[in-house]
Chains A and B, each alone.
Chain A
Amino acid sequence: MLFSSVSFLFMFLPITLLLYFLVPARFKNLVLLICSLFFYAWGEPVYVVLMILSIVFNYACGLDIGYNADDPVHAKRGIIFAVVVNLLILGFFKYYGFLIGSINAVFPVNIPYRELELPIGISFYTFQAMSYVIDVYRKRVRPQRDLMLFAVYVSMFPQLIAGPIVRYADIEAQLKQRNISPNRFGDGIMYFIRGLAKKVLIANTVGGIFDQISGMGFGSFSMLTAWVGCVSYAFQIYFDFSGYSDMAIGLGKMFGFDFLKNFEYPYTAKSITDFWRRWHISLSTWFREYVYIPLGGNRKGTKRTVINLLIVWALTGLWHGANWTFLFWGLYYGGILVLEKFVIGERINRLPGALQHAYTLILVLIGWVFFFSPDLGYAFRYLGVMFGIGAKGLADQQALFFVLTNWLLYLVSITASTSFGYYVLDRGVYNYRNGQGRRGVACIIYLAMFIVSIAFLVTENFNPFLYFRF
């Protein structure tokens, strides 16, 4: 079930909230678990079994590792087993087809295989479960004895299908004890409505433009159109993804959870290093914590650091999808980050601010081309058009038509990509001196955003889920 769907907003959510707040405290986790399993089964009626198995497996591994914490050999064996099994499950469902397909393409063999449908959210919940067993092994957290609490942690519907990747350590205490107050609930509503508006009003609309442009044949669009398409995609993925994260954070707050921030105005970054501190923060944190640092991080000399970075970024790329384009995309960023770290970082720091932004945005836009292309050939041809090779002229009417008939959309997108957008929204509310005025205005602004989002949601058929490959 998507957050941006009528079934979720006007069936699942009200019923879940009602049940959750009606039952006494000791049953709240049970309600949350049952509702979360229903939520997942609604979208994945078969693979829900896989998720339950994954939960039980990691629960058992956690207990086993915790129980043998004083026996390093046994514990080590336990953690290796747990990580390998998790990766095998993920690998089987996500990379099997890609692997065999690549082998068939490279070697003169033809191994038959059936492309499996990827279970939604498998990359998110597998990573969450792995953060738990690894942290138990490292003795950062104590093993969770209560299967239900562990199941709530993994399957909790707000962050289940599109993140953020919540680490067990961050949420351990909240599983048992949560503060629910009207203020937190209201704060959650504000997060949720902002996220919904980002997804439905901006991402879906701007995504429609990208869809139109990417559907045109090469040779039939101009350089400017290619840039409009790429910028549209950049806005689509940012508002879609950060919208989902905001909705997740908001829903978390309604049920008494605090999740960490996942996006911090990434398009205002001044370097690629800075960009990745602001984009999908929970994923970068995960890779730093559980891959980069265990590999030795930057403590083993320059050469090892470079290798470690490239490994992490190759994996980050592949995490986003089993395709050469994602591998390339990851290594592209790995390469730039290595360069920034060892070669050009200082020089970029000394550039005027505007140039820093331009440098970052252009590299990020080029990166998105690899991200949205179905294969590398398409990516390079599209990039070619962006830089004048194979383009139908510098600019044409079509590009101007897209910009002109969507001027407000792009204006809102740009504003909302910066902290200025939030500032404007906040000013709208806090301009009023007296509390009553503020409450009224806040109420009107947020409910209006909600109703308009519903209007777009109900009447617009274009409502894609971008993370089916993650």
Chain B
Amino acid sequence: MANKKKRKKIKIQAFLVKPFLICLGVFMIGNILLPTREYSEVENRSLAKRPRLTLSSLQTGTFMEQYEDYLMDQFIGRNLLRDLKVRIDTFAGNKEENGVYRGKQGQLMEDVVIPDQEVLKKNVKAIKEFAESNSGIPTSMILVPDAACILEDELPSLATVANQRTMIKSVKRELGESVSWVDAVSVLDTHKNEKVYYKTDHHWTTLGAYYVFQESGSALGVQSKEESTFSPYAVTTTFNGTLSSKSGYEENEKEEIDIYTPQGEDLDVVVNYVQEQKKTTSLYDSTKLDTKDKYAVFLGGNYSLLDIKTTVNAKRKLLMFKDSYANCFIPFLTPYFREIVVVDPRYYTGDVSELVGTYNITDCVFLYNANTFFADNNISGVLTGE
């Protein structure tokens, strides 16, 4: 009897050999045969490609590290496996994936970035000095809080994030009188029950931008007219944003992207993508609506330097330092400025003081999302020309 039992037990182990080896073989050959993909639509990022083999990369071991990244990124069935992992994590009670919280009612929120104090100090100092040295040019600052700050109540139960309000307040205090401050936090607080942030993306909605624009009227010296002068309409209803890609949560959620156009007046623009040497006559790039990254419909995404000329009968010329939050905000400004020069310090490497002279700038604004601002290490470099 004991013997018989033992024999059965042995069989189980032997039985596992074939399926396991088949599994190894299928994945190995599958990985080899699968053509290399450049870009993952689902994850919204470029995938690692096969590294080049050189003597030095071999010697330092970087080749091996890159090769592992390549195998991971190009793994056969990667999207299915990713889906499996997110499902298991969700079942296990997990409410955070890759730095993204899945809040109540499926609101996705990026964790609040904690700044490196040294870098932050340098950035703030550079902004202050820039504003003070160009005293003839009124400068304002719009620092837009993140969803995790405004929609704190929507965070998963018990989840806590760093206090972004205090961080933003301390930037305001540091800048003091050198800039006119636009209090985006309280505006968005007032409207937090409306859809001011996307559910699946880290950006604010055009509605959120519109409320902050109204508030910024006095700081920017523009007469913000009644809401009726801009009319919203949806350009897509199938937007699934980057937070979804990053976390794997809510990948079936479809959202609407609205654009607001000034009513009545006929306003023409010419957008000059300076470095790319490309010109268009629209603030919107509708071809992006067919891609995954639909938020890029605003100005086609992020570029180092844009020069937007309008047909408005005005003399003022605005210089803007910004991140992607500004892309849906800029259309609100076009009726008030003859020209808007838009610098994205993450990509721009030229001389800023030269820009001020060349374009005869009369006004300046810094528009940043708090998370990008607190993680940024380019602003001080671009402003001081270092």
Q: Which residues of A contact B (CB under 8 A)?
A: 1, 5-7, 9-11, 13-14, 17, 42-46, 181-187, 189-190, 193, 396-398, 400-401, 404-409, 429, 435, 438-439, 442-443, 446-447, 450-452, 454-460
B71 touches A404 (CB 8 A): no
Main secondary structure on chain B at its contact with chain A? helix
Could you say which residues of chain A place their CB within 8 Å of the CB of B93? Answer: 404-408
Stretch at the interface among B151-159, B192-200, B360-368: B151-159
Q: In this complex, what residue of B is CB-closest to A459?
A: B82
B68 touches A14 (CB 8 A): no
Could you say which residues of chain B place their CB within 8 Å of the CB of A454? Answer: 27, 81
B15 touches A7 (CB 8 A): no
A406 touches B8 (CB 8 A): no
- 13 more contacts with CB within 8 A, not counting A11-B28, A17-B24, A452-B85, are A7-B64, A7-B71, A10-B31, A182-B13, A186-B15, A400-B158, A401-B156, A405-B94, A405-B158, A407-B92, A442-B16, A455-B82, A458-B72
Q: Of A9, A181, A187, A397, which one neighbours B160 at CB under 8 angstroms?
A: A397
| Contacts known (A43-B64, A183-B14); A11 close to B71, Cβ less than 8 A | yes
> A-B pairs with the 8 shortest C-beta distances?
A186-B13, A182-B14, A408-B92, A455-B81, A401-B158, A6-B71, A439-B15, A186-B16
| Contacts known (A456-B85, A459-B85, A460-B85); A187 close to B13, Cβ less than 8 A | yes
Does B78 interact with chain A (Cβ within 8 Å)?
Answer: yes
Q: Which residues of B contact A (CB under 8 A)?
A: 8, 10-17, 19-21, 23-25, 27-28, 31, 58-61, 64, 67-68, 71-72, 75, 78, 81-82, 84-85, 88, 91-96, 156-160
B59 touches A45 (CB 8 A): yes
Q: In this complex, what residue of B is CB-closest to A253?
A: B13
Could you say which residues of chain A place their CB within 8 Å of the CB of B160? Answer: 396-398, 401
Could you say which residues of chain A place their CB within 8 Å of the CB of B88? Answer: 452, 455
Interface centre among A183, A187, A396, A450 (most CB of B within 10 A): A183
| Contacts known (A11-B71, A43-B64, A458-B72); A404 close to B157, Cβ less than 8 A | yes
A450 touches B8 (CB 8 A): no
Return 14 A-B CB contacts under 8 Å, by A number.
Answer: A10-B71, A11-B71, A45-B59, A45-B60, A183-B14, A190-B13, A401-B160, A406-B92, A438-B12, A443-B16, A451-B81, A455-B88, A459-B72, A459-B85
Complex CA–CA separation, A401 to B101 (angstroms): 12
B59 touches A46 (CB 8 A): yes
Complex CA–CA separation, A80 to B88 (angstroms): 56
| Contacts known (A400-B158, A401-B160); A459 close to B61, Cβ less than 8 A | no
Q: Of A184, A189, A457, which one neighbours B20 at CB under 8 angstroms?
A: A189
B157 touches A186 (CB 8 A): no
B11 touches A405 (CB 8 A): no
Give min CB distance, A48 to chain B, whole Å: 11
Give min CB distance, A192 to chain B, whole Å: 9
Q: In this complex, what residue of A is CB-closest to B26?
A: A10
Complex CA–CA separation, A286 to B13 (angstroms): 32
Give min CB distance, B58 to chain A, whole Å: 6
Complex CA–CA separation, A14 to B27 (angstroms): 10
| Contacts known (A185-B17, A456-B85); A401 close to B24, Cβ less than 8 A | no
Complex CA–CA separation, A185 to B12 (angstroms): 11
Q: Of A45, A182, A190, A458, which one neighbours B78 at CB under 8 angstroms?
A: A458
B27 touches A189 (CB 8 A): no
B17 touches A186 (CB 8 A): yes
A442 touches B12 (CB 8 A): yes
Give min CB distance, A409 to chain B, whole Å: 6
| Contacts known (A401-B158, A455-B82); A189 close to B95, Cβ less than 8 A | no
